[in-house]
Amino acid sequence: MYTVIGLEVHAQLKTDTKLFCGCSADYFQKAPNSQVCPVCLGMPGALPVLNQKAVEYTMRVGFALNCTIPDRCKFDRKNYFYPDLPKGYQISQFDEPLCVDGYLDCEVDGEVHRVRINRVHLEEDAGKLIHAANGTSQVDLNRACVPLIEIVTEPDIKSPEQAAAFMKALRQLLRYLEICDGDLEKGSLRCDANISLHPEPDKLGTKTEVKNINSFKAVEDAIKFEQARHRKILESGQEIVQQTLGWDADKGIAVPQRAKEASDDYRYFPDPDLLPVHVSEDWRDEVRGQMPATPAQWRERFSKDYELPDYDIGVLTEEKETAVYFDQVTEKFNKPKEVSNWMMGEIMRLLKDHDEIKVSASDFADFLQVIDEGQINRNTGKEVIEAAFETGKTPLAIIEEQGLKQISNTDELAQVIDQLLADNADQVERYRSGKTGLMGWFVGQVMAKTQGKANPKAVNELLEDRLNA
């Protein structure tokens, strides 16, 4: 049996205002129904005005996904009834979406897999129902009319792992483009998975659609669940019922929600309150000109400018903040591989317990300089960075405060060593008569007298110099 998967992804745009009115689009943790107006409440006669920024953000996605952006797109009404949709229709794009025919490459186990994009369109979100413990439900319309893009893939995905990899690559892209925060748990990025199985490759069987997928793990788990269910039904000679299911992550099962409706049921028609949008070449150029670099462009530059291994580049560019930080550190301390090692090791480890890098790029560069000069050793350095994350102090301040700098100053060390040799003439005699194993003892003594701060290499050199004189 061959599996075929297509994803429909909804991403919330980070615009200041909603798609068709001036209300704030930031509804997170706001008092219910505090960010609403006649337009997003769906009052009769209130007229929508299209948010230009939302269109431009969608165009960014289109460009980054290698789509065509036709000269014209329009908005349509998708009619259905649900209490979170006061107008009785959602404004969406039906047959003339803003972006069409693109692709996104994503990597699974070192292999690049291309997923074609059917379309990217712009639409409004619905409100939210709050189900109270007493069995009643309340409606919060703060989210109503918040801009969403829907990204629809062609059925090019062949496995649950590929689906998760696609979602990860897409989330990364949207975050790099600075148009969506990509938070699956908060619902700013949502994914519906369509899946079918067929005995022959590249053929489409009857599909089911799983909704309510809100983590990368859920993407894989939900598809695996449906894959197994389809296989069992098909292998027993029965037929798949085309339907929509909801993923229950706690129970690990997909629960049937409703029979799949056809698009006819929505009675789509062009919204008479909104004019079609004409996209000129000048406008396209302007938006292209404002595009932040994509993850692929960052990776390419890291490879060219820093000659880092692919593995390092993958880790460093996973989040844009880290990639920017790397750039800044390297600008001041120009040993890319050294910076990469510290970031992939210590910084990434510390980021598991901290929500951001607590040391400024400039302070981190100064710290790496001190390490590079051998003024403190690596292990001490790790403790310093950890302390810097805990306390918010700069690494150099901590090194200073705790007197951690190694003594590499040969004058200072020479003094300690000369005193040591003078105090232990008998040991010196024994060393010179052949007990060279005593070297370790001398080194230990110097370390003890300097509270472990002496640079071991300098100590060894000086001792050899004196003892073999």
Residue ranges that bind ligand ADP, judged by CB under 6 A: 4-8, 152-155, 194-196, 204-205, 207, 263
Nearest residue to ligand ADP, using CB?
Answer: 6
Structure tokens at 466: 């004196």
Give the span between the Cα atoms of 76 and 78, in whole angstroms: 6
Single out the residue of 21, 117, 219, 359 in contact with Zn ion (rule: CB under 5 A).
Answer: 21
**Binding partner of residue 227 among Zn ion, ligand ADP, none, CB under 5 to 8 Å per kind?**
none
Give the span between the Cα atoms of 319 and 295, in whole angstroms: 9
**Binding partner of residue 23 among ligand ADP, Zn ion, none, CB under 5 to 8 Å per kind?**
Zn ion
* C-alpha triplet 405, 407, 410: angle, nearest 5°: 150
Q: Minimum distance between the CB of residue 153 and ligand ADP, rounded to whole angstroms?
A: 5
Q: Which stretch binds Zn ion (CB under 5 A): 19-27, 73-81, 366-374, 446-454?
A: 19-27
Q: Minimum distance between the CB of residue 145 and Zn ion, rounded to whole angstroms?
A: 6
Q: Minimum distance between the CB of residue 143 and Zn ion, rounded to whole angstroms?
A: 11
* Nearer of residues 55 and 117 to Zn ion, judged by Cβ: 55
Q: Minimum distance between the CB of residue 114 and ligand ADP, rounded to whole angstroms?
A: 14
Q: Minimum distance between the CB of residue 218 and ligand ADP, rounded to whole angstroms?
A: 17
* Nearer of residues 43 and 204 to ligand ADP, judged by Cβ: 204
Q: Minimum distance between the CB of residue 259 and ligand ADP, rounded to whole angstroms?
A: 12
Q: Does the footprint of Zn ion cover residue 19 (CB under 5 A)?
A: no
Least Cα distance to 206 among 218, 196, 191, 220 occurs for: 196
Q: Minimum distance between the CB of residue 263 and ligand ADP, rounded to whole angstroms?
A: 6
- Count CB neighbours of 3 within 10 A: 23
Least Cα distance to 373 among 327, 325, 418, 406 occurs for: 406
Residue type, 27: Y
**Binding partner of residue 448 among ligand ADP, Zn ion, none, CB under 5 to 8 Å per kind?**
none
**Binding partner of residue 40 among ligand ADP, Zn ion, none, CB under 5 to 8 Å per kind?**
Zn ion
* Nearer of residues 206 and 424 to ligand ADP, judged by Cβ: 206
Q: Minimum distance between the CB of residue 65 and ligand ADP, rounded to whole angstroms?
A: 14
350 within 8 A of 389, measured Cβ to Cβ: yes
* Nearer of residues 142 and 394 to Zn ion, judged by Cβ: 142
Q: Which stretch binds Zn ion (CB under 5 A): 34-42, 318-326, 336-344, 435-443?
A: 34-42
Q: Minimum distance between the CB of residue 24 and Zn ion, rounded to whole angstroms?
A: 9
What is the β-pairing status of strands 243-248 and 208-213? parallel
11 within 8 A of 174, measured Cβ to Cβ: yes
Burial 173-203 (b: 16+ CB within 10 A, else e): bbbbbebbbbebeeebbbbbbbbbbbeeeee
125 within 8 A of 147, measured Cβ to Cβ: yes
Q: Which stretch binds Zn ion (CB under 5 A): 16-24, 178-186, 272-280, 389-397?
A: 16-24
Give the span between the Cα atoms of 373 and 378, in whole angstroms: 11
Q: Does the footprint of Zn ion cover residue 40 (CB under 5 A)?
A: yes
Q: Does the footprint of Zn ion cover residue 50 (CB under 5 A)?
A: no
Residue type, 245: L
- Tell me how far the alpha carbon of residue 415 is from its chain's centroid: 54
- Tell me how far the alpha carbon of residue 75 is from its chain's centroid: 31
Give the span between the Cα atoms of 75 and 78, in whole angstroms: 10
**Binding partner of residue 154 among Zn ion, ligand ADP, none, CB under 5 to 8 Å per kind?**
ligand ADP
What is the β-pairing status of strands 2-12 and 189-198? antiparallel
* Nearer of residues 21 and 219 to Zn ion, judged by Cβ: 21
Residue 77 DSSP SS3: strand
268 within 8 A of 77, measured Cβ to Cβ: yes
**Binding partner of residue 12 among ligand ADP, Zn ion, none, CB under 5 to 8 Å per kind?**
none
Q: Minimum distance between the CB of residue 18 and Zn ion, rounded to whole angstroms?
A: 5
* Nearer of residues 113 and 299 to ligand ADP, judged by Cβ: 113
* Nearer of residues 193 and 376 to ligand ADP, judged by Cβ: 193
Residue 47 DSSP SS3: coil
* Nearer of residues 73 and 463 to ligand ADP, judged by Cβ: 73
* Nearer of residues 46 and 233 to Zn ion, judged by Cβ: 46
* Nearer of residues 191 and 385 to ligand ADP, judged by Cβ: 191
Which DSSP string corresponds to 147-176?
Answer: EEEEEEE-S-B-SHHHHHHHHHHHHHHHHH
* Nearer of residues 79 and 427 to ligand ADP, judged by Cβ: 79
Structure tokens at 342: 């510290």
Q: Minimum distance between the CB of residue 187 and Zn ion, rounded to whole angstroms?
A: 19
What lies within 8 Å, CB to CB, of 104 at 6+ separation is 65, 66, 114, 115, 117, 166, 169, 170, 173
Single out the residue of 13, 19, 23, 64 in contact with Zn ion (rule: CB under 5 A).
Answer: 23
Residues that bind Zn ion in the complex, under the rule CB under 5 A: 21, 23, 37, 39-40
